[in-house]
Amino acid sequence: MSQFLKDYVKVKKHNFRVGVKRARLSKACYFFLAPYAIIFTMFYILPVVVSIVFGFTYYNILEAPRFIGLQNYVSLFLEDDIFLMAIKNTFMIAIITGPLGYLGSFLFAWLINELPRWVRSVAVVVFYAPSIAGNCYVIFSVFFRGDAYGYVNAFLMNTGIIDTPILWFIDPRYMLPVCMLVILWMSLGAGFLSFVAGLQGIDKSQYEAGYMDGVKNRWQELWFITLPNMKPMLMFGAVMSITQAFSVCEVTMTLCGFPSTDYAARTIVTHLYDYGFARFEMGYACSIATILFLIMILCNKAIQSMLSRVGT
Amino acid sequence: MSDMNNNNTTENQNIVTETQETVNTEVVETVDAEAFNLEDEALSKLESVEDVEETAEVKKAPSKEKTSVKKTKKSKKKEEEEEVYHKPIIKRRKPNRSIAGDIFLYLFLLIVAVIMFFPIVYAVESALKPLDELFKFPPRIFAQNPTLDNFSDLFVTLGKSWVSFSRYLFNTVFITGVGTAGHLIVASMAAFVLAKYDFPGGKTFFKLVTVAMMFTGYVTGIPNYIIMSKLHMIDTYWAIIIPAFAFPMGLFLMKQFMEGLPTSLIEAAKIDGATEWTVFSKIVMPNVKPAWLTLIIFSVQALWNNKASTVIYSEEMKTLPFAMQQIQAGGIARTGEAAAVLVVLMIVPIAIFIFSESQILETMASSGLKD
């Protein structure tokens, strides 16, 4: 055993020395990497560490942080009813809009793939525009206005489905579904572009080979040829849509107000902002951020291991 | 044969349009398939392809000569075979598609496209409507007497307020411009060494960046605020601009795209005595122009819509999306102006995307995430 340990240490030492030597030889590389690495560490890595550390403290910016152990997490899950509601809402939104948006991105990318070139480029703009249109979703508050002159209300009343106007963004029953609709409308983002580009890049000879080997219809072609070729893009798209699905807050905050009626449209991020920037309970907010971080990373890992089995 | 074809297509990627490319690959492949005693299906394909080719060949660049020589041989061969099989020509590119399915799916696609685009068209149209038309009920989608009054009103009404509209616009343009330019330079420098050199720590760093793509800015919002307040960056433009330099997706896309550059290009420059910086600025950067545009679109999209209300407090440094919120809070009377700001906000990212679509798609083709 001690012999093994000694060898292990020896190998590690050797590797380290080789590493140092190689690092010294590639100084220029570090110069190139340095600006990005510094900013990245400062504003992307360090915050995660800071939020994990501050999650265990009581910190309100004015006083020095005070260590209180797991108290924040205990009160989050046992005392904070609104947080539990936020988690429920966030998961509802994520479970419905995430997969639907993802499948939609792929489906539309796949359908427009066979269109002639100029139609395809128009179609890409049409489908991608909502996600880069910024605050354009505000226009939905005109469609779903709460009085009888809101277009959706007027339509439903004229057709006789309802007889009194629905307060879409005030009635807790309708808030989440309408928000989900808006989020779905915006969900063809970077993943969609990646799919479109990936589908274009598939080697056409594979399809020819497929015809020879008796691929009968487009669905078989999709499963046996297209999907296995698209695996890296599928991964990228999954990362994009999971991240998006869990970070919903602007849409619900803008459309349903902040705070919303009965907290029916509260999400984890909204809760985070409430505690961070309205009440300045930074320690508590950091613990929420840590939970959100863990949810996102775990979901991504789980989905990735699922996707690696696609098309086999 | 297919090797030659591949070379040709890569060489002429810029010159030859896409239809011609597909034509080439298909011709060669179908001829390959003939060796396996292919039947009418492939033949008909050859037929339909040949029609397009004749017109296409006229426009082709001289570097294409080799293939065209090859093709004349092939067409002779084809003519001989045509005498043997007198079958009707079926002009279908994909043999395994049902027409009913095609019609159904494209109809579905068309309907969804109309629904998707409707809110955007509606937003643009309501910015063009005069006040009386805005509240007309039942509504019309298109304005009867389109005016630009709403846009000029923006400058007039907000010109009287404490902070003028042009100041909000300037803030947003400044943040977007500086942030995007810095992001492009900083991220490309890092992407260059990560893609083309193997040095200790490089791979680990890139893994960290891909992990960083898995969580959003909201997670880091609160700690970022604490860090920035320690650096005295709160209430300056830099609080938004500097973090935008290190936007992880930009580095990721740039690195993936740079990996496609031939390493021999860099080695050749090195042998000629170029320093790392010359290689980067004179050789690598001009060759990854499509990736520039992709980085620009994602960065602009993120910064142009940045409300920045949590890190900037001074009214005169706030951004356009924030101003929009205030205009909307102005109530019913400001409906037209609110729509106009909405259009200003969305037109820029969409316009950039429309102009650079093909380059962006070229970059996104290498966006795959390998595990």
d(CA A49, CA A72): 17
Taking the Cβ of residue B94 and every Cβ of chain A, the question of whether any pair is shorter than 8 Å is answered with yes
- The band of A311, judged by pLDDT with boundaries at 50, 70 and 90, is low
Taking the Cβ of residue A127 and every Cβ of chain B, the question of whether any pair is shorter than 8 Å is answered with yes
Predicted confidence at residue B81, as pLDDT, reads: 54
In chain A, residues with a C-beta closer than 8 Å to the C-beta of B328 are 138
In a domain, A48, yes or no: yes
The separation between CA A114 and the C-alpha centre of its own chain, rounded to angstroms, equals 28
pLDDT digits (tens, 9 = 90+) for B279-308: 888 888 888 888 888 889 889 888 888 877
pLDDT digits (tens, 9 = 90+) for A140-167: 888 888 887 788 888 888 888 888 888 8
Tell me the CATH number at A80.
1.10.3720.10
In a domain, A252, yes or no: yes
Range of the structural domain that residue A210 is part of: 72-307
In a domain, A64, yes or no: no
The answer for A 224-253 residues in CB contact with B (under 8 A) is 231-233, 235-236, 239-240, 242-244, 246-247, 249
Q: Higher confidence at residue B42 or residue B253? A: B253
Range with the poorest average pLDDT among A271-280, A282-291, B52-61, B355-364: B52-61
What mean pLDDT is predicted for residues A104-111? 91
Domain shared by A147 and A24, yes or no? no
| Residue of B25, B222, B256, B359 to mutate, testing the A interface (most A Cβ within 10 Å of its Cβ) | B222
Q: Judge if pTM exceeds 0.90.
A: no
Domain shared by A139 and A260, yes or no? yes
Domain shared by A43 and A99, yes or no? no
Tokens 């304005």 belong to residue = B143
Min distance B159 CA to chain A CA atoms (Å)? 23
Q: Give the nearest partner residue to A50 out of B95, B186, B226, using CB atoms.
A: B226
Domain shared by A45 and A181, yes or no? no
Domain shared by A105 and A254, yes or no? yes
Predicted confidence at residue B3, as pLDDT, reads: 43
Predicted confidence at residue A133, as pLDDT, reads: 84
pLDDT digits (tens, 9 = 90+) for A40-74: 998 899 999 988 999 899 988 888 888 888 888 99
- The band of A312, judged by pLDDT with boundaries at 50, 70 and 90, is low
Q: Over 60: is that where the pLDDT of B76 sits?
A: no
Predicted confidence at residue B174, as pLDDT, reads: 92
d(CA B75, CA B19): 19
Predicted confidence at residue B40, as pLDDT, reads: 46
In chain B, residues with a C-beta closer than 8 Å to the C-beta of A216 are 96
The answer for B 297-316 residues in CB contact with A (under 8 A) is 297-298, 301, 304-305, 310
Interchain proximity A44–B220, CB inside 8 Å: yes
In three-state secondary structure terms, A57 is strand
In a domain, A67, yes or no: no
Provide the domain count of chain A: 2
Q: Give the nearest partner residue to B212 out of A44, A112, A246, using CB atoms.
A: A44
In a domain, A95, yes or no: yes
Q: How many CB atoms lie within 10 A of CB B132?
A: 9
Q: Over 90: is that where the pLDDT of B321 sits?
A: no
Domain shared by A17 and A121, yes or no? no
Interchain proximity A54–B137, CB inside 8 Å: no
| Residue of B121, B215, B229, B334 to mutate, testing the A interface (most A Cβ within 10 Å of its Cβ) | B215
In a domain, A261, yes or no: yes
| Residue of B105, B107, B214 to mutate, testing the A interface (most A Cβ within 10 Å of its Cβ) | B214
What mean pLDDT is predicted for residues B15-35? 44
Nearest CA in chain B to A119: B110
Q: Over 80: is that where the pLDDT of B30 sits?
A: no
- The band of B178, judged by pLDDT with boundaries at 50, 70 and 90, is very high
Taking the Cβ of residue A130 and every Cβ of chain B, the question of whether any pair is shorter than 8 Å is answered with yes
Q: Over 90: is that where the pLDDT of A262 sits?
A: no
pLDDT digits (tens, 9 = 90+) for A231-243: 888 888 888 888 8
To the nearest whole percent, how much of chain B has pLDDT over 90?
A: 8
pLDDT digits (tens, 9 = 90+) for A181-236: 999 998 888 889 999 988 888 888 888 888 888 887 888 888 888 888 888 888 88
Predicted confidence at residue B75, as pLDDT, reads: 57
| Residue in A143, A168, A157 with CA at minimum distance from that of residue B122 | A143
| Residue in B367, B206, B207 with CA at minimum distance from that of residue A301 | B207
- The band of A253, judged by pLDDT with boundaries at 50, 70 and 90, is confident
Average pLDDT over chain B, rounded to an integer: 75
Residue B31 in tokens = 């001829």
Amino acid identity for residue B18 in this structure: E
Q: Over 80: is that where the pLDDT of A178 sits?
A: yes
In a domain, A286, yes or no: yes
- The band of B14, judged by pLDDT with boundaries at 50, 70 and 90, is very low
Domain shared by A47 and A123, yes or no? no
Domain shared by A157 and A201, yes or no? yes
Taking the Cβ of residue A51 and every Cβ of chain B, the question of whether any pair is shorter than 8 Å is answered with yes
Q: Give the nearest partner residue to A216 out of B33, B96, B353, using CB atoms.
A: B96
Taking the Cβ of residue B119 and every Cβ of chain A, the question of whether any pair is shorter than 8 Å is answered with yes
Domain shared by A25 and A137, yes or no? no
pLDDT digits (tens, 9 = 90+) for A128-140: 998 888 788 888 8
Q: Over 90: is that where the pLDDT of A114 sits?
A: no
ipTM of the complex: 0.87
In chain B, residues with a C-beta closer than 8 Å to the C-beta of A169 are none
Taking the Cβ of residue A278 and every Cβ of chain B, the question of whether any pair is shorter than 8 Å is answered with no
Q: Give the nearest partner residue to A108 out of B19, B109, B363, using CB atoms.
A: B109
Nearest CA in chain A to B363: A197
What mean pLDDT is predicted for residues B23-52? 45
Domain shared by A268 and A145, yes or no? yes
Domain shared by A241 and A99, yes or no? yes
Q: Over 90: is that where the pLDDT of B179 sits?
A: yes
Q: Higher confidence at residue B136 or residue B357? A: B357
Residue B21 in tokens = 């490319």
Most confidently predicted of B60-69, B134-143, B352-361:
B352-361
Q: Give the nearest partner residue to A39 out of B26, B109, B242, using CB atoms.
A: B242
Nearest CA in chain A to B220: A47
pLDDT digits (tens, 9 = 90+) for A69-99: 888 899 988 888 899 999 999 999 999 999 9
d(CA A50, CA B255): 28
d(CA B248, CA B225): 19
Interchain proximity A50–B246, CB inside 8 Å: no
d(CA B356, CA B294): 8
To the nearest whole percent, how much of chain B has pLDDT over 70?
A: 73
Q: Higher confidence at residue B176 or residue B97? A: B176
In chain B, residues with a C-beta closer than 8 Å to the C-beta of A302 are none
**Residue A66 pairs with which residues in a beta bridge?**
A58
The residues near A250 (Cβ < 8 Å, ≥ 6 apart) are: none
d(CA B220, CA A50): 9
Predicted confidence at residue B29, as pLDDT, reads: 45
Predicted confidence at residue A171, as pLDDT, reads: 85
Assign 3-class secondary structure to chain B.
Answer: CHHHHHHHHHHCCCCCCHHHHHHHHHHHHHHHHHCCCCCHHHHHHHHHHHHHHHHHHHHCCHHHHHHHHHHHHHHHHHHHHHHHCCCCCCCCCCCCCCHHHHHHHHHHHHHHHHHHHHHHHHHHHHHHCCHHHHCCCCCCCCCCCCCCHHHHHHHHHHHHCCCCHHHHHHHHHHHHHHHHHHHHHHHHHHHHHHHHCCCCCHHHHHHHHHHHCCCCHHHHHHHHHHHHHHCCCCCCCHHHHHHHHCCHHHHHHHHHHHCCCCHHHHHHHHHCCCCHHHHHHHHHHHHCHHHHHHHHHHHHHHHHCCCCCCCCCCHHHCCHHHHHHHHHHCCHHHHHHHHHHHHHHHHHHHHHHHHCHHHHHHHHCCCCCCC
In a domain, A63, yes or no: no
Q: Give the nearest partner residue to A134 out of B18, B215, B346, using CB atoms.
A: B346
Q: Give the number of A-B residue pairs with CB atoms closer than 8 Å.
A: 303
pLDDT digits (tens, 9 = 90+) for B123-161: 888 888 887 777 777 777 787 888 888 888 877 777 677
Domain shared by A213 and A126, yes or no? yes
